[in-house]
Chain A
Amino acid sequence: MKILVCISNVPDTTSKINFTAGDTQFDTNGVQFVINPNDEFGLTRAMWFKEKQGATVHVVTVGDTTVEPTIRKALAIGADEGIRINVAPKDGFYVARQLAEVVKNGGYDLVIAGRESIDYNGGMVPGIMAALLDMNFVNTCIGLEIDGTQATAFREIDGGKEKISTSLPLIIGGQKGLVEESDLRIPNMRGIMMARKKALNVVEPVDAPSPTTDQKFERPPAKGPVKLVDAGNVEELVNLLHNEAKVI
């Protein structure tokens, strides 16, 4: 089984978000970039398929040379080979087209992407890829077993989960649940050393449309101070929620 894990290079979850250039760009100053958390759960599941079922695992990222440390980290965790598509990502449609090209040329059986990236939150890349490639697709995937070409997936739905039966070739939009938080791996020294010797192939982008453009960013409006209610006067909270906030 040949697996491609699509990785987005995103600001660490603790990052404070600021904008620059007249609020038209994300300010990367002082920001630590990491493997998108939804993708990291998928990468870890891919490692399981590698170790238990002999799968080959490639990782791919769309971006300029600044994303290479993130690809190297994925290689240090255990992926066999890295691919960088040499272009700044534009929008979800554009990224999906680039990734679809790599999937098509690489003959992958399973493509693992994240449900969404935690920066631009488009959540459309795996779905668009699936449509372009006519592959089976399971989103918000929280469990995946492969037996030959048959796949059993679990999907998180609003208020519960759904068991899905499908087959390879398959694309999933993964998230926490594919593996547990405690299963995530921190690269060890041996992994980091080995990652340096692994192939990181650079491929050039294909022409593709980008139908959406972020024109401007805004930070959330500043919030007024909290109204404190004394612990001995809980009734006051009920009054405030009813009469002032009008939410009960």
Chain B
Amino acid sequence: MAVLVYTESENGKLKKSASEVASYAKHVAEQLGGSVTAVAINAEDTIALGTNGVSRILNVSDEALRNFNAKAYANVIAQAAETVSAKVVILSSSADSKYLSGLLAAKLNAGYVPNVVAPPESTSPFVVKRTAFSNKGFALTEISSETKIIGVSNNSYGIVENATDATMEDFSPAINDGDFSTKSVEVDKVVGKATIADADIVVSGGRGLKGPENWGMVEELADLLGAATACSKPVSDLGWRPHGEHVGQTGKPVASNLYIAIGISGAIQHLAGVSASKTKVVINSDPEAPFFKAADYGIVGDAFEVVPELIEKLKEFKAQNA
């Protein structure tokens, strides 16, 4: 049975998540006894997907699709799914993929389960494990429709090498002018910096940092680690940092390999939002802060002393391991 994976790209290059969702798709295809087809839009380096188990690559190249457009992209993926008679369609958990997921589900008349953290528990019935209650729990969800859509949680499956001879072909789906009644006017995006969605490491600051003027050391630590910066809800509510940095139950979820919380006490909503991170470090002057119960490593101490010291030690570490 055919599995289709939508592999996202940016400025012509596949995103890191593309390798992960392709690896996941290969796992599902093996469970079902099928093969993986990838569909990519305006990406030049898709041949690399062969290393993650993709055997057929549909390359869509169309100037009209230069900017992301949820409706048009959903239509492209739906046509690719029909072309290969896909039984399962795999998406990432990016903002764009989540945007188009509902449109795609309606188009394919498919059950969609987002935030999936593991390969299917079984394929008949088809059951996947996902996070629910904003990471305060998990659900085992059965998808009973003929076509199924899975949104894979970032960083949950990882990238698996699986060298496959991939064939490439140009794919020219029909594109409707009507899809562009919602039009991108301007994109304001930080370039050359990790984002919370795809960073391996996230460095996050809370109210314990006392004011926005003290974020220099958070940014320095993040730059040193190639990390994204984030913040707690009160910090974004106070306007110290932009909303886009707010992580937690009502903000963004974090599923990084390493999450460093500085001056964040650890309200239940915050801990829920970051619980999918693999290793959590907390730096807080209050030994009673709830975050210490949720963290793997902790330092009880003044952030204004500990963080500069940590930056120094990391510089030494990097110099030694360069």
- A interface residue numbers (CB < 8 A to B): 11, 13-14, 16-17, 19, 26, 37-38, 91-93, 96, 118-132, 136-140, 142, 152, 155-167, 175-177, 180-182, 209, 211-220, 223-224, 226-231, 234-235, 237-238, 240-242, 245, 247-248
Contacts and interface: CB of A to CB of B under 8 A. Distances in A.
Contacts of B184: 162-164
A13 B313 CA distance: 38
A90 B310 CA distance: 49
8 contacts: A38-B250, A93-B111, A96-B106, A121-B133, A137-B71, A213-B141, A213-B144, A228-B300
Q: Which 7 A-B pairs have the closest CB atoms?
A: A127-B102, A211-B111, A231-B301, A160-B189, A131-B106, A159-B195, A211-B145
B257 interface: yes
Given A211-B145, A220-B137, A166 B310 contact: no
A140 B257 CA distance: 25
Contacts of B314: 238, 248
A226 B295 contact: yes
B281 A214 contact: no
Residue in A138, A182, A235 with the greatest tally of chain B CB atoms within 10 Å: A235
B132 interface: yes
B9 interface: no
Nearest to A26: B133
B143 A214 contact: no
B237 interface: yes
B115 interface: yes
Interface of B: 70-71, 74, 94-96, 98-103, 105-107, 110-115, 127, 129, 131-145, 181-190, 193, 195-198, 200-201, 225, 236-237, 243-244, 246, 249-251, 257-258, 267-269, 275, 278-279, 281-282, 292-302, 305-306, 309-310, 313-314, 317, 321
Nearest to B312: A234
B188 A161 contact: yes
Q: B-side binding surface: helix, strand, loop or mixed?
A: mixed
B281 A237 contact: yes
B310 A127 contact: no
Contacts, number: 269
A177 B258 contact: no
Nearest to B15: A158
B258 A92 contact: no
Contacts of B300: 228, 231
Residue in A17, A124, A175, A223 with the greatest tally of chain B CB atoms within 10 Å: A124
A13 to B, nearest CB: 5
A11 B132 CA distance: 12
A237 B185 contact: no
A159 B200 CA distance: 14
Given A13-B249, A128-B102, A241 B181 contact: no
Given A215-B139, A226-B296, A248-B314, 13 more contacts: A14-B269, A120-B139, A121-B115, A124-B112, A127-B106, A139-B95, A152-B185, A160-B189, A161-B187, A163-B186, A164-B184, A231-B299, A247-B257
